[in-house]
Amino acid sequence: MLDYIKGNIAELTPTYAVLDNHGIGYIINISLTTYDALPKGSGNEALLYVHEAIREDAHLLYGFATKREREAFLLLISVSGVGPNTARMILSSMSVDEFSQAIISNNAAMFKAVKGVGAKTAQRIIVDLKDKIKPVGNPLLQQTSDKPGEAFDEALAALVMLGFTQQASQKALKSLFSSQPTLTVEQAIKLALKMM
């Protein structure tokens, strides 16, 4: 069992990172929150807390910038009907604090707004996790992309990887960036997910 992987960033996208640790490249699935918290650019050192999902056909790693985000992920995948990819979508659509607050305040609408989460699953998340959520502390710090065009491109790539069409993703992002050109990649994707 792995707790964390520390290494140099070989590749970084809004949905996964490749960390080079002593010549071995680990492909680690990440949320947008983690993506936004990681230093951008190849060669930067990063540490990701990981969860290893072992399936019959694959061994997958899910990485998180903080232990709190990993704990939220583990809570989510403990709910019947919520798999690792759905949990990652939820944590890409809201911060850990927003996730906790949605459960504490019985806000099923926040979960239903996430692609792949229906009314029954949203209610099940709240019911199953209500007693397991503690009050939250400080939110994760956000970093902005160097150039607005770069943020647009990265957000577009992430939305396409999450299963949305390129045309619908571009339309939503153009609308967002025309009114708010200084959006971070994470903010743009979260807002676009709510529009689609």
pLDDT (tens digit per residue) in 57-73: 999 999 999 999 999 99
Least confident interval from 106-115, 123-132, 134-143, 159-168: 134-143
Give just the sign of the alpha carbon dihedral 33, 38, 39, 41: negative
Which tokens sit at 171?
């339309």
**Which domains, from first to last, does the chain contain?**
4-64 (2.40.50.140), 67-129 (1.10.150.20), 148-195 (1.10.8.10)
Tell me the C-alpha distance between 147 and 181, whole Å: 10
Is 123 strand, coil or helix?
Answer: helix
Q: What is the pLDDT of residue 135?
A: 52
Residue 81: C-alpha distances to residues 69, 77, 99, 109, 118 (Å): 19, 8, 17, 17, 10
pLDDT (tens digit per residue) in 173-191: 888 888 887 888 888 888 8
Tell me the C-alpha distance between 177 and 51, whole Å: 34
Locus of tokens 């947008």: 32
Q: What is the pLDDT of residue 136?
A: 45
pLDDT (tens digit per residue) in 75-124: 999 999 999 999 999 999 999 988 988 998 889 999 999 988 999 999 99
Q: Is the pTM for the entire model greater than 0.85?
A: no
